Structure formats: C-alpha cells, structure tokens
C-alpha cells in the first residue's frame, strides 16, 4: 500500500484534478517558506503563484513521487532567480540615458 503522504502526489501525476488542487493547497505554505529563503521579499508571492501554476501544468511529468519535494525546490528557486533577473534589468539605467 502506498504511503499516505505520497497518495496525493501519485493521484495528481495520474491526472486527478481534485488531488492536484488539494496537493497545491497542502504544499503552498512550504512553497512560501522556500520562496522566503530564495527570493527578495517583494517577489515571494509572485514566485509562489508562478510555481503553483508550473506544478499544475507539469505534475504529470514528475518521474517519481519521492522526487516531488526536490522538484518543488528547483521550481521555486528558478522562479525566484527569474524574478530577480527581471527586477535587476528594470533597475538598470541604459548606457545612453542622460
């Protein structure tokens, strides 16, 4: 019998939308904690929202349920880096600015 903590992940991987919704609700606080450690404070909510959307779209591609926590960490880390890069670009002044 499958361990209860992996049941929702497996169901979500198999396309069960209710399981995916419950999984995302259950893991949202963890995603937020991860984002607080990886993002600037202003980017935390955006990183979490984008990460949730990515998880929703790609959960079926997850190879094993045991990989789920690490996969989440990678998604959040990439989203934080992307947001930081976008913010940094917006803060730079063009070379020809006078």
- Which structural domains are found in the chain, ordered by start? 27-91 (1.10.1740.10)
**Backbone torsions φ then ψ of 40, nearest 5 degrees:** -75, 155
Tell how far CA 50 is from the center of its chain. Answer: 6
pLDDT, residue 82, reads: 94
User: CB-based burial of residue 16 (10 Å sphere; 0-12 exposed, 13-18 middle, 19+ buried)?
Assistant: middle
Model's pTM, two decimal places? 0.82
pLDDT, residue 94, reads: 53
28: which residues sit within 8 A by CB, 6+ positions away? 48, 52
Residue 16: is its pLDDT beyond 90? yes
Q: pLDDT by residue (tens digit) across 53-84?
A: 999 999 999 999 999 999 999 999 999 999 98
């Amino acid at each position: 019998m499958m361990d209860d903590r992996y049941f929702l992940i497996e169901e979500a991987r198999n396309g069960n939308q209710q399981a995916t919704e419950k999984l995302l609700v259950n893991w949202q606080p963890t995603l937020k904690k991860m984002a607080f450690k990886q993002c600037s404070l202003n980017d935390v909510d955006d990183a979490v929202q984008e990460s949730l959307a990515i998880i929703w779209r790609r959960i079926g591609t997850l190879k094993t349920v045991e990989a789920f926590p690490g996969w989440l960490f990678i998604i959040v880390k990439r989203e934080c880096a992307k947001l930081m890069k976008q913010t940094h670009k917006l803060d730079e002044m063009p070379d020809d600015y006078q």
